[in-house]
Amino acid sequence: MAYSVDQKNARPGGDAVGRDKITNHIHQYSSSRKIEALMEKLAHEIATNEETRQQIDTLQLYFERRSHDGVEGLEAKLEHSGRADCKLDAFAKKELFAKLLTRYSLYASAQEIFAFMLARADTRFRTYVLPRVDELSISEIDALVISDIVEPIVEEIGFGPFNVNDAIVAGMVYWLAEQCFVRRHK
């Protein structure tokens, strides 16, 4: 005997399903939520003077210089890529980032935030900028760095115990160049 059900005039108060309703909830935390939580944790660490003497591995990775082509250091990279006229600005911005990094690197949460920022800049540079350095002008490369690296990171990091702006994130990109992770030449 077959059963038949007529649902023509059914008016359910919720979902109308023929049998079992399966609902999957996937909770993914956006990077901005992660950063927000780390900023809150950092504020607590600063307030309680909770410092660490160890450096997390992800951050340590970016302190290890890796020359890919023998062009080492920021000054050499700027000259090699035809950007010698940008030295003063590049060094000033790099120092802004380096001072921020030094000031907050004693806090575990800040290390995680810096590691996130550096990894994001490194990945975005390798993905969006480096493949195009031979085909773009210096000003086009600069615009790409701003739109694909600087602005997204400034937006993601937001506000907290330390704030980042375009100059600091641009300085981080120059700092990465000093460490040989970023190069504006092939």
pLDDT digits (tens, 9 = 90+) for 134-172: 999 999 999 999 999 999 999 999 788 888 999 999 999
Q: What is the mean pLDDT of residues 93-115?
A: 96
Say which residue, 124 or 23, is predicted with more confidence. 124
Residue 28 in this model has a pLDDT that exceeds 70: no
Distances in Å between the Cα of 144 and the Cα atoms of 84, 130, 136, 140, 169 are: 19, 10, 10, 6, 14
Q: How is the chain split into domains, by residue range?
A: 71-185
pLDDT digits (tens, 9 = 90+) for 57-80: 999 999 888 777 778 888 888 898
**DSSP label of 48:** T
Residue 186 in this model has a pLDDT that exceeds 70: no
Amino acid at 151: E
